[in-house]
A = this chain, B = another copy of it.
Amino acid sequence: MINKTVKNVQEALQGVQDGMTLMLGGFGLCGIPENCIQELLRIGVKDLTCISNNAGVDDFGIGLLLQKRQVKKMIASYVGENAEFERQLLSGELEVELNPQGTLAERIRAGGAGIPAFFTPAGYGTEVGEGKESREFNGKMYLMESWLKADFSFVKAWKGDTAGNLIYKGTARNFNPMMATAGKITVAEVEELVPAGELDPNMIHTPGIFVQRIFQGEKYEKRIEQRTVRQA
């Protein structure tokens, strides 16, 4: 089996340059590629277009890239809980394209699956539909939406093997599987990297063909945004 292992996050991000389009997995702070984001901060690449459902919070996740002004444009569905983001957006420093969440997910899947365009009812009759082709099917109106692809996709999985196969845990799955398919180069960081053959072929969430580089991440913080508990 082809070995996709790289030795560390530095090697994993080789080739990332100013002006590139990046996809970053995660929903809120759940399932985000923490190590890759730290490395993006360290190397300081600028003018990035970031595709991610959310924009992190002020002091974690993509929020850190926004603080350092590394992001030129965000493509996302929900960017609340981020004061710096809202400030840059309202002041015009940051370009933002908001997509309905399902449209965003499907556009990314389409990018990975070779489907340049598809029709969805989400956003018809709203600002989202402005300038887009619309069409009626069976008496209902739909918008035509196009695929999304990236120069690099950064995804976070629970377990991975040296062949690039990935398994996600819980709702940390979210956008990671589609993004893994839509990057020219997909970098997977995993909590546990095992030799090919240790994962059940029947239970793989992302087949290794989609992953070009894989490494075991370090020091996962896994910050929780809304810690809600009940009494035992």
Contacts and interface: CB of A to CB of B under 8 A. Distances in A.
A69 to B, nearest CB: 31
Given A106-B115, A115-B106, A169 B120 contact: no
Chain A residues touching B, majority SS: mixed
A146 B142 CA distance: 13
Interface string A113-147: 11111111100000000000001011010100010
A121 B169 CA distance: 34
Given A116-B138, A117-B118, A169-B202, 12 more contacts: A106-B113, A110-B118, A114-B120, A115-B119, A116-B119, A116-B137, A116-B140, A117-B119, A118-B119, A137-B146, A170-B202, A203-B203
A104 to B, nearest CB: 14
Contacts of A146: 137
A53 B117 CA distance: 24
A77 B110 CA distance: 22
Interface of A: 106, 110, 113-121, 135, 137-138, 140, 142, 146, 167-170, 202-203
A118 B115 contact: yes
A200 to B, nearest CB: 9
A133 B120 CA distance: 18
Contact of A118 (B118, B121, B138, B203): B118
A52 to B, nearest CB: 22
A169 B200 CA distance: 11
